[in-house]
Structure 1
C-alpha cells in the first residue's frame, strides 16, 4: 500500500463525495487499516445519505460503522447499526457475533461470553468467534480463561501461528517460561527465519537454563544478521555463563575464542552505528570489561 495513495483517498473523501467515501472504506477493509474515527466520520455520513447511494455496500458499511462505534463508545450509531443489521439478517451468526461485541463495549463480559459460547456450541469451527472470545478474556483481565480458550482452539487449528504467538506472550506474562518455550518452538517451525522468534526463543532458553541450545540460536540469529546487537549480546551472555559453568580446558578455550570473535563483532557494530552516542560509550566500556 502506498501511503500517498491512502492520503489522496482521504482527501477526496473529505471533499464530501459519497463515491470517494465508499472507496475509502472499501480500501480500509481490504488493507485492514485500523482508524475507527475515520470510519465513523465517513461511514456515518454515508448512512445518513440513505441506502440508495450505497447500493449493495450498505450492509457492509453498516457493519464497519458498527465496529468503529462500538470501539469508540458511540452508543447511538452502535445501537442503530445493530438494530438495522438484526432486522435485515435475523438468523445470521455474523450478526449474533456483533451482539457479543456490543456487550463487550458495555463491559457486560458474562453476556458476551454466553453469546460466543452459544455460537461455538453450534459451530465449533468458527475461528472468528474463537478469536473474539479469546480477545474478550484478555480485555476483561481473565488471563487463565484466555490461555484455556487458546489451547482449546489450537487442538483443532494447530497451524495458526498468530495464536501460538498470542499464547506464548500470555505464558510470558504469567511467568510460565517453559510453556512459552514450547510456543516459540512451534513458531520457529512455522517461520524458521523470523529474527523475532529466534531471538525470543534463545532468550527463553537462556532464562530457563538451557545455555547450550540458547547459544546455538543466538549464533543462528547472528549468522542471519551479523550486526544484530540483541543476538551478539545474547551470545556474550551465553558464553560467559557457559565458561563459568564448564571450566574444562578444551571447552573453555573454544568458548574464549568464540567470545573474542563476538566481542569484536559488537565493537564493529557499534563503530558502524557511531559508537560515541549515548548508548555506544557505556556499551563499549562494558565490552572492554567483558574481554579482560
Structure 2
C-alpha cells in the first residue's frame, strides 16, 4: 500500500516531469519501486529516455530495467510494436532469460494468441512454479477470454500457494459476487478480515455478502413452503376421493409438520 508521503512525492515528480522540469528517471524509478503501473506516463517518459542515446547510456545497467518497464507499459497501452521492439533488445542482451521469456508470453497474450501464450506460461511455470506474475497472468488471460470459471480455478490454485496475497483474495471475492456465489465470496472476505481486520471495506463487503445469503435462503424457504403447500392440497384432494375416512388423520399429520 502506497503511503501518503510516497503518493505526494510521486505526484510532485509527475507534475515536474509533465511540465518538462526533468526528473523522468527518478519518476520512473519511484513508479517501479511502489509497484505501480502508470502505463501511459511510463511509456511516454520511458521512450523519451530510450530514444536519446546519451540519456540511455547514462543509465548504465538500469537501461535494461527501463526496457522491461517500458515493454510492460506498452503492452498495457496496446502499443504492441513498441513492446515488440523493447523485447527484441532484451532478447538480444539476455537470450536465455526466463524474465524475458515472460515478456514474450505477455506479448503473445496481448496479440490474442491464447494457445501460444498458455503454452509459454505453462512452460515457464514448470521451471518456476512460484512465479507469482505468471500465475496471475493466467488469471488475467482467462478473464480476457471471458472464461470466468477458468479465472476462478487459477485464482484458487494461486491462493493455495500465495495465501497472503490480499489483492488476489479480493479479486476472487469480486468474481464470486458477480456470479451471485455469495457463500464463496463471504469466505474470501473472512480471509481478508482475518489478515487485515482494520480495513472497514472488507467488513462492509462481508456484511453485504451475508445479507445476500440470508435473502437467498429466505427466498428458497418461501419457495419450499409454497411447493409443500401445493403438495399438501393435492394429497387432501386425493384422500377426499379415495380415503375420506383417513382425511382427518392426514390433516393432523400435515399440521404437525407445519405444512398446513
Q: In 1, Cα distance between the equivalents of 2:162 and 2:36?
A: 26
Among 184, 187, 205, which residue is 2:189 paired with?
184
Q: In 1, Cα distance between the equivalents of 2:163 and 2:32?
A: 27
Aligned twin of 1:165:
170
1:110 and 1:20, CA in 2 relative to 1: closer, same or farther beyond 3 A? same
Encode CA deviations 1:100-134: one digit per residue, 9 max, x unaligned: 21112212222211111111122111122111211
Report the aligned-residue RMSD: 2.3
Q: In 1, Cα distance between the equivalents of 2:32 and 2:162?
A: 25
Q: Report how many aligned residue pairs link the two structures.
A: 210
Instruction: Tell whether 2:44 aligns with 1:44.
Output: no
Instruction: Tell whether 2:197 aligns with 1:154.
Output: no
Aligned twin of 2:128:
123
Aligned twin of 1:140:
145
Using the TM superposition, give the Cα deviation of residue 53 of structure 1 relative to its aligned residue in structure 2, in angstroms: 2.5
Q: In 1, Cα distance between the equivalents of 2:115 and 2:102?
A: 14
TM-score, with length taken from structure 2 = 0.73
1:16 and 1:88, CA in 2 relative to 1: closer, same or farther beyond 3 A? farther
Aligned twin of 1:72:
77
* Runs of 5+ consecutive residues of structure 1 not aligned to the other structure: 212-292
Q: In 2, Cα distance between the equivalents of 1:28 and 1:185?
A: 31
1:8 and 1:190, CA in 2 relative to 1: closer, same or farther beyond 3 A? closer
SS in 1 for 2:60: helix
1:84 and 1:189, CA in 2 relative to 1: closer, same or farther beyond 3 A? same
SS in 2 for 1:55: coil
Instruction: Tell whether 2:15 aligns with 1:23.
Output: no
SS in 1 for 2:214: coil
Using the TM superposition, give the Cα deviation of residue 31 of structure 1 relative to its aligned residue in structure 2, in angstroms: 2.5
Aligned twin of 2:38:
35
Q: In 2, Cα distance between the equivalents of 1:4 and 1:186?
A: 31
Using the TM superposition, give the Cα deviation of residue 139 of structure 1 relative to its aligned residue in structure 2, in angstroms: 2.2
1:43 and 1:185, CA in 2 relative to 1: closer, same or farther beyond 3 A? same
Instruction: Indicate conservation of the 8 Å contact 2:37/2:73, yes or no.
Output: no
1:213-292 mapped onto 2 (5 Å cutoff): none
Q: Could you list the structure 1 runs, at least 4 aligned residues long, displaced by more than 3 angstroms after superposition.
A: 1-8, 10-17
Q: In 2, Cα distance between the equivalents of 1:164 and 1:7?
A: 29
SS in 2 for 1:182: helix
Q: In 2, Cα distance between the equivalents of 1:53 and 1:156?
A: 40
Aligned twin of 1:13:
17
Instruction: Indicate conservation of the 8 Å contact 1:46/1:54, yes or no.
Output: no
1:38 and 1:157, CA in 2 relative to 1: closer, same or farther beyond 3 A? closer
Q: Which has the larger radius of gyration?
A: 2
1:14 and 1:178, CA in 2 relative to 1: closer, same or farther beyond 3 A? closer
1:197-208 mapped onto 2 (5 Å cutoff): 197-208=202-213
Q: In 2, Cα distance between the equivalents of 1:22 and 1:166?
A: 32
